[in-house]
Each structure stands twice: as C-alpha cells, then as structure tokens.
Amino acid sequence: MISAERLALHNRRWGHALRNWYDHAEVAWTPGMIVDHELRVRFDTFFPWREFSASLRGLARELLPSEEWTPRLLAENAVETALDFWEEVPEFCGQAVFTPEELLPFFCTCADPPRFGTRLGRYPEQLDILPQAKSLLDLGCGVGIGTLEAARKTGASRVLGVTLEPLEAWMATQRHLPHDPQRTREFQEFSDISAEFLAGDAAAFRPANGERFELVICNGLAGGRFMNTPAQLEGFLDTLEVCTAPGGLVALANSFHPGHQKGVEELARRASARGWTVSGNWRQMTFL
C-alpha cells in the first residue's frame, strides 16, 4: 500500500510542473496533437521525463510486490519525453497526478498499452490452422486472452503462457484487467479452461522439469520491435528447440509494421539453418 504522503509529494511536484508548462509555454499541448522534435525538447525542459519516470517508478516500488514488477514502459530510456509516454497510454494522456484508486489501473496500462492489441480474434487466420494438441505454450502471451482462445481451439489440457511483464502475468492469472473492464469480461468465456502464467523472457525461457509442448505459439514478438537482434533470435530458437515436443508445431503470427519484415525473414532463415521446416509467409508462419 502506497503512503498518502508519498503520493501527495509526487502530485504536488508534477501537478505544479504541468501547470507551469501551460502557464508559460508558447503553445498549449493537447492530447492528439502532432508533436515535433522542437516541441518535445521544449516540453522536456518544463516537464523532464527522466525525473517524472523516476517518480513514477518510486510509486510503483511502493505499490507493487517488487521492483521487477515495474512496467518497462516506465524505464528511463523507454521513450524520449513524457509526451511520447502519454501517446502510449492514451487513457491517462496528459495526466501527471493520481488518486490512490487510479494507480493500479495506471501501472496495468503501462504494462499492457493499447498498441499491444491483446484482444480476442487478433489472429483469426492462425486459429484456423492450429491443430488439436494436448499441451500448449504461448511465448509472449501478454494478458493471456489469446492464450485461452488458442487453448479452446486446440483442446489443450496443459496450457502455459509466458510474458516478460510480471504485472501482465499477474493479470492473466487473476483474469482481471484493472484498466480494461471490457476485456476483463471476455475472460468469462474461458472459465472452463485451466492455464498457468509466468513472467519470463521468451529468448531465454526454460520450462521446469524439462517439460515440452506439442504446440508452441508466439505472436507479435519474434522479429519485431522487442526481439530482433541476432542474439535474441538465436536465443528464441534455442527456447523453441528446448520447449517443443518431437513432432510438435511452432506457430507465429504478427501485425508488425512492414519495416519488420526483414527481421521476421531473418528469423525464418536462421530456423531453416537449424533444420526446422518453415512454411507460410512473414505475417504467419509455422516451424516443424
């Protein structure tokens, strides 16, 4: 539980900083406006992201179970300015002060920003090709709704989801999204499906007791913004080799910007070099 004194201190400082911007800036920033480099620099002078994010991380440390739960979006180098940050969390766009009741939804939004797009039916073409399987591993599962959707389609009785954000793993386990009541209601469709969710890095994950899965899915991750370096791609392929049962299937889908096509194709090339049979295209592919 966060102390009232700690929250009041944050609110005083950053409420004043935002008012100071509006009182003295030549342009009044409003949500949705086009933000150029000059405006970012000018705004950061009044409202420095490095210090603001540090204050938010301090609140997170008091509210959440451990420092590791702090959403990565709040890292000092995650974005350049607070304006960029607010574009990632439009529900809290332009907000610098918080009530105690707003803090958990705020941090959950930071862990699961809208651009992640973790909703039902995100990859319908993939669902159409998924085979029946007794066990399912979802690498990069987010808040877990897509994991449960895939489990329903495949009939898997052993279901494990892995996500880098501990706060996402918690939301998936609780089947509750404090920042999104609509998607929380969607969990009700899967009340008959049992699943486990863990925090972990898909490029380094190792299941307990050497467990392997008949079906491994990974959507919106490999080859994209968060997994694109040679070391990450090789680590991811190591994970697939360790986690996939003999004769099992790996299914990957994404809705990346076309600029990431080369990254996904590089992953496919490396997988082929390791002996995987790669099928499909860069938007949707399978490894056997």
Mean pLDDT of the residues in the chain: 94
Q: Are 245 and 282 in contact (CB under 8 A)?
A: no
pTM score over 0.85 = yes
Does 130 share its domain with 64? no
Cα separation, 28 vs 147, in Å, equals 43
pLDDT tens per residue across span 272-286 = 999 999 999 999 999
For 195, the token pair is 């699943």
Beta carbons of 215 and 154 less than 8 angstroms apart: yes
**Residues ≥6 apart with Cβ < 8 Å to 194:** 157, 159
Least confident of 37-41, 150-154, 221-225: 37-41
We report the CATH number of the domain holding residue 210 as 3.40.50.150
Which pLDDT score, from 0 to 100, does residue 131 have?
97
Same domain, yes or no: 127 and 264: yes
Centroid of chain to Cα 65:
19
Q: Label residue 39 by pLDDT band (50, 70, 90).
A: confident
In this structure, the answer to whether residues 205 and 159 fall within a common structural domain is yes
Q: Is the pLDDT of residue 29 over 70?
A: no
With respect to residue 185, please indicate whether it lies within any of the assigned structural domains: yes
Among 3-17, 35-49, 107-121, the range of highest mean pLDDT: 3-17
User: Residue 116 domain-assigned?
Assistant: no
Which of 47, 80, 111 corresponds to the end of one domain? 111
Q: How many domains are there within the chain?
A: 2
- Tell me which of 89, 111, 133 is where a domain ends: 111
What's the domain range around 197? Answer: 122-287
Predicted confidence (pLDDT) per residue in 169-188, tens digit: 999 999 999 999 999 999 99
Residues, the chain, total?
Answer: 288
Say yes or no to pLDDT of 86 above 80: yes
**How do strand 244-253 and strand 284-287 relate by DSSP bridges?**
antiparallel
Residue 138 domain-assigned (yes or no): yes
Note the pLDDT of residue 234: 98
Total H helices, total E strands in the chain: 11, 7
